[in-house]
Structure 1
Amino acid sequence: MNPIAERALARAREIFSPGASAKKAPTRKFWTTSDEHRLAELYGDTPMAELIATFGRPDYAIYGKAASLGLKRSAAYLASEHACRLRRESKAGEAFRFKKGQRPWNKGISFDCGGRSVETRFAPGTMPHNNVPVGTERVTDDGIRQRKVRDDGPAHRRWKSVHSLIWEEAYGEIPPGHIVVFRNRNTQDITLENLELLSRAENMRRNTFHRYPPELKDTIRQLNKLRRAINEASHEK
């Protein structure tokens, strides 16, 4: 077995063995019914510092349990000095808000940064130095041949796969939710006879491992588990 796989297997045995699990697994403190009743009695008027000391839990755990139980702070507590300033004063920050109908100081002022930046700005219609003409073709990392079809618009819409263009020339526009795929999965065989129109859902079903026999699917699952264990061991190393 690969040394990394051996270390991953040893690590898994160490973590999931009964003795190691008891020592290393984080302990979770569950809320009992009596804890919930006690929290319901205290939450309305008790400061958070006292609740933390009483229940031995962090504030976020107490806030979360109170929310799940539908508990609220009392009006007297919200008016006291223990409450958060923003909750205690409903009009906190009102003096700094925009008033209705207030005119911003920069309304109607055109932006002009000035300086020498004007000399280095792109003029309207200027194309970048790496621009290529419409009709240029390229091959993606996945082996898909693309052709440039326009110079304007978003960058991802300026290029289109050649096999999709061939399909559209023969059968018209590709319907929404559909793609053109290669029948023999050879991306270099760009012929109309090798192209097929599929819905994205059907393409997903064809590519998923659920189409394989049960014994092969189980093997794929085991290989994926081993691959994850190897990756975790490599990261730890």
Structure 2
Amino acid sequence: MNSLAEQALARARKIFSTCVNDIAPTRRFWIESDEKRLAELYSDTPMPELIEIFGRPDHAIYGKATSMGLKRSEAYLASEHACRLRRENNPGVEFRFQKGQKPWNKGISFDCGGRSTETRFAPGTMPHNNMPVGTERVTADGIRQRKIRDDGPAHRRWKSVHSLIWEEANGEIPPGHIVVFRDRNTEHLALENLELVSRSENMRRNTFHRYPPELKDTIRQLNKLKRAISEASDEKQND
């Protein structure tokens, strides 16, 4: 393993070892005694008391009660502890439209007047920042693109220049295929440097097996550390 890989592995071990020591259980499982007690209390016990009894947030208690088919009693729903929307039979009824009542703007047509007409785009007008067809740009990934149209969705108005070069010589790119750079240099746009491959083949080329042996070994060690973290987390949750 080269020095760069050893340094990366040392840093990863330090980070992951700290994570293992700091891991806290993020989920508590309901045991049979908890379920039995919840079944006895849920119908008439206010939620703040249930939270204190079970040491769980309200959404966890509501979720467990729902999965068990538990319901609040009629007496509880009528009490001051229940949510207003559940306590009242028809909240907000006095603020609703009554049957036969007409809204104030019924029958009034919209007249688009005012000064808004001065600032509207006229048919066929392009915004001031529109780039003409033929303009080229470079993406954050270093891919050169060329604008090929003004209409249609924005993502279809631009196309990679290397794809255009390949299509000019070979025709349309078949479905499920892409054009890639043989030497992985996105600035080398010569036709002989372009290659048509399937998406699955491109994915295979960019997997773990393309890395040098020393980097593969580092990745394996990192995966072992991740598994150790996962196992430590499971053990703490089961305690």
TM-score by length of 1: 0.68
**Matched residue, 1:88:** 87
Distance change in 2, residues 1:108/1:190 (3 Å) = farther
Gaps of 5+ in 2: 4-8, 226-239
Distance change in 2, residues 1:179/1:217 (3 Å) = same
**Matched residue, 1:63:** 62
Return the offset for 1:200.
Answer: 2.6
Return the offset for 1:112.
Answer: 2.8
Q: CA deviation digits over 1:206-226, x for unaligned, max 9?
A: 112245577642313557999
Return the offset for 1:141.
Answer: 3.2
Gaps of 5+ in 1: 227-237
Q: Distance in 2 between matches of 1:142 and 1:150?
A: 22
Distance change in 2, residues 1:129/1:52 (3 Å) = closer
Q: CA deviation digits over 1:4-50, x for unaligned, max 9?
A: x9998767656646xxx6xx847976544222211111112222233
**Matched residue, 1:162:** 161
Q: CA deviation digits over 1:184-204, x for unaligned, max 9?
A: 222233344332333333322
Return the offset for 1:126.
Answer: 2.5
Q: Distance in 1 between matches of 2:38 and 2:60?
A: 12
Q: Distance in 2 between matches of 1:99 and 1:176?
A: 58
**Matched residue, 1:109:** 109
Return the offset for 1:140.
Answer: 2.7
- Does structure 1 retain, via aligned residues, the 8 Å contact 2:132–2:147? yes
TM-score by length of 2: 0.67
Identity %: 75
Return the offset for 1:109.
Answer: 3.0
Q: Distance in 1 between matches of 2:151 and 2:52?
A: 64
**Matched residue, 1:150:** 149
Q: Distance in 2 between matches of 1:155 and 1:7?
A: 43
Distance change in 2, residues 1:146/1:12 (3 Å) = closer
Distance change in 2, residues 1:177/1:113 (3 Å) = farther
Structure with more contact order per residue of length (Cα contacts < 8 Å, sep ≥ 6):
2
In the TM superposition, 1:212-223 aligns within 5 A as 212=211, 216-220=215-219, 222=221
Q: Distance in 2 between matches of 1:64 and 1:215?
A: 49
Q: Distance in 2 between matches of 1:171 and 1:102?
A: 69
AA partner of residue 202 (structure 1): E
The answer to whether 1:47 aligns with 2:43 is no
Return the offset for 1:182.
Answer: 1.7
In the TM superposition, 1:1-237 aligns within 5 A as 16=20, 25=24, 31-89=30-88, 91-94=90-93, 96=95, 105=105, 109-110=109-110, 112=112, 114=114, 116-212=115-211, 216-220=215-219, 222=221
Return the offset for 1:157.
Answer: 1.9
Return the offset for 1:98.
Answer: 6.5
Q: Distance in 2 between matches of 1:107 and 1:50?
A: 55
Q: Distance in 2 between matches of 1:99 and 1:194?
A: 73
Aligned length: 220
Q: CA deviation digits over 1:52-75, x for unaligned, max 9?
A: 343344323322332343322234
**Matched residue, 1:230:** none
**Matched residue, 1:235:** none
